[in-house]
Chain A
């Protein structure tokens, strides 16, 4: 009788754990967003970085103003950051990060000229975010966007570690 009771107890515990795990993982994956978050100061950078699930790219000017990061974040994180005043533009829900590329074009060409690679969004002059259509179409550094357009491609699938330095530059003895 005792053995049966223990067996039932163990089975129930396992079922509860499995249910909870499924629920939490489903909740996380379904609520992830891909967003472009604008920041202007070191404090804002840290807040946005810490407030994201993962940061995959950031673009920064020497003055730090109008810089942005491409982050994955949950709806709760999105709500929290926007309530703090951050401008966070949602690019996609439940993104497949292996489909995203940041493309640099030294030549002065419109982002639409890269549409052969996928869905494009201009990030800044010469920098475009491209979502490739399928994995088969996932174009890498040797992409052929056009005979006269040289493209330099960075795959943003892997997240960045939080940087060690707060400023654009660190003190150097060679300045």
Chain B
């Protein structure tokens, strides 16, 4: 039989437009070219890690739980795989058990559930509440004491320094790196040289659904004791073991939300701050697209106040920077979740910490610090500031814990 070119083209288009048999439909699906359940088993052999991912709701094993997983389940279901257990795992992960299970019958293709905004808001609030509850004061105490002493083993012994160029800084950098890794993070050590400083920042990243856009939770981990005329020892419990411990504890709590937040989060511990914000300046200089950094919460000295002031940390924003939305969110979390930090969102002109390099680049960045530092009218300041007396047993751990709770809730609120 002779077929003309036009007949051939028409035939081909009609064939492609028709519903495909199972053998075609189940081989590849979706724009992401993922293998379906059946073909995955037939062609690749089921991997244990993918099966584990499916049990957590990530059906197509791409590292995120979203509607693409549902699409894959639906296609496999229509192709003959009637095993619905993965749908249930996906549903629970996607909607945090907040909506009822849709009724599914074998004779009727599954319909895409339309999630209403309300369950997602409830789920977000549930995550915030659970996150806040998981912050541990004991973990914070452990971190402060571990980085203030002279080795990277647990327990307190002789004090040491974390001065930027010192061996102690390297020892505690290794300790912090290991802590992050134990939480499941991939850690980047960002070395830099500036002025007289040769040191490194520590960066742990929590990927969200969007891996480009991220919030940063920061503190500096280097110390000085210049007011005592030395830099060894320089235990730096309040300045800035307090902020460092809050970042690490927030990272521990938020590590369970991998892939669940809409945007990513970076936990950054800078060095070289005491010599002129060198570490944060270097980090900021490497940001290629500032619009990808959605906001920076920098904590510096959050562990002390005069007793009369009680637990009190202020979230300071710089004029015309737009950071007030971050500070307002933090105060809102403190109030609505009854954390009792007595926080306030205040305009500040203090640029002497690691938020400044971000502000210079028009990235929203705020500065969280103890009220005694922020409120000059109090007329006093941490008496052990930049001295050998800045040791762990002088801190108010309740205040640090409440600050960590507030920033955990704030990050979920903003990044979810």
Q: Give me the interface of A with B, judged by CB distance under 8 Å.
A: 45, 57-62, 67, 102, 104-108, 124-127, 140-144, 147, 150, 152-155, 158-161, 163-170, 172-175
Is A169 a contact of B277 with CB atoms below 8 Å? no
Q: Distance (Å) between the CB of A162 and the closest chain B CB?
A: 8
Interchain residue pairs with CB less than 8 A apart (8): A58-B319, A67-B319, A106-B378, A106-B379, A108-B379, A141-B275, A142-B386, A153-B276
In chain B, residues 346-381, which have Cβ atoms closer than 8 Å to a Cβ of chain A?
347, 349-353, 356, 359-362, 372-373, 375-376, 378-381
Interface string of B176-195 (1 = CB under 8 A from A): 00000000000000000000
The 4 A-B pairs of least Cβ separation, nearest first, read A163-B320, A174-B328, A152-B352, A60-B319
Residue of B nearest to A64 (CB): B319
- With contact pairs A106-B376, A154-B352 given, residues A144 and B321 touching in the complex (Cβ less than 8 Å): no
Closest partner residue, chain A, to B196 (CB atom): A140
- Give the A-B contact count at a CB cut-off of 8 A: 117
**What chain A residues lie within 8 Å of B328 (beta carbons)?**
172-175
Interface residues, chain B, CB within 8 Å of chain A? 224, 226-227, 229, 273-277, 281, 317, 319-322, 324-325, 328-329, 331-332, 347, 349-353, 356, 359-362, 372-373, 375-376, 378-382, 385-386
CA A166 – CA B319 in complex, angstroms? 9
- In the bound complex, residues from chain A placing their C-beta under 8 Å from that of B331 are 174
In Å, the complex CA distance between A172 and B317 comes to 13
Which residues from chain B contact A102 at a C-beta distance below 8 Å?
Answer: 351-352
B381 in contact with A150 (CB, 8 Å)? yes
Decide if A107 touches B276 in the complex (CB within 8 Å): no
Contact residues in A for B275 (Cβ distance below 8 Å): 140-142
In whole angstroms, how far apart are the Cα atoms of A161 and B385 in the complex? 32
Contact of B320 among A153, A155, A167, A173 (CB under 8 A): A167
Q: Is the interface of A mostly helix, strand, loop or mixed?
A: loop
Complex-state Cα separation, A125 to B373, whole angstroms:
14
Interface of B is mostly: loop
Chain A residue numbers with a CB within 8 Å of B324 are 168-170, 172
Contacts of A142 in B (CB 8 A): 224, 226, 274-275, 386
The residues of A that contact B349 with a CB separation of less than 8 Å are: 59-60, 104, 124, 127
Q: In the bound complex, do residue B351 and residue A150 qualify as a contact, i.e. CB atoms below 8 Å apart?
A: no
Q: Give the residue of B281, B322, B329, B386 whose beta carbon is less than 8 angstroms from that of A165.
A: B322
Tell me, rounded to whole Å, the shortest Cβ–Cβ distance linking B15 to chain A. Answer: 53
Q: Contact check, B347 vs A104: say whether CB atoms are below 8 A apart.
A: no
Q: State the CA gap A56–B378 with chains docked (Å).
A: 28
Measured CA separation A126–B320 after assembly (Å): 21
A94 to B328, CA, bound (A): 41
> Do B360 and A153 touch (CB < 8 A)?
no
Q: Please, which residue of chain A has its CB at the minimum distance from the CB of B300?
A: A152
Most buried by A among B227, B373, B380: B227
Judging by beta carbons under 8 Å apart, are A60 and B347 in contact? yes
Asked if B227 contacts A152 (CB within 8 A), the reply is no
With A and B bound together, what is the CA distance between A165 and B320 in angstroms? 5
Known: A60-B319, A62-B347, A150-B385. A172 touches B325 (CB 8 A): yes
CB distance from A34 to the nearest CB of B (A): 17
Q: Report the bound CA distance from A106 to B379 in whole Å.
A: 6
A170-B350 contact, Cβ under 8 Å, with A106-B373, A144-B226, A165-B320: no
| A155-B276 contact in complex given A142-B386, A144-B226, C-beta closer than 8 Å | yes
Q: Is the CB of B274 within 8 A of A141?
A: yes
Closest to B361 in A: A161
A6–B274 Cα gap in the complex (Å)? 59
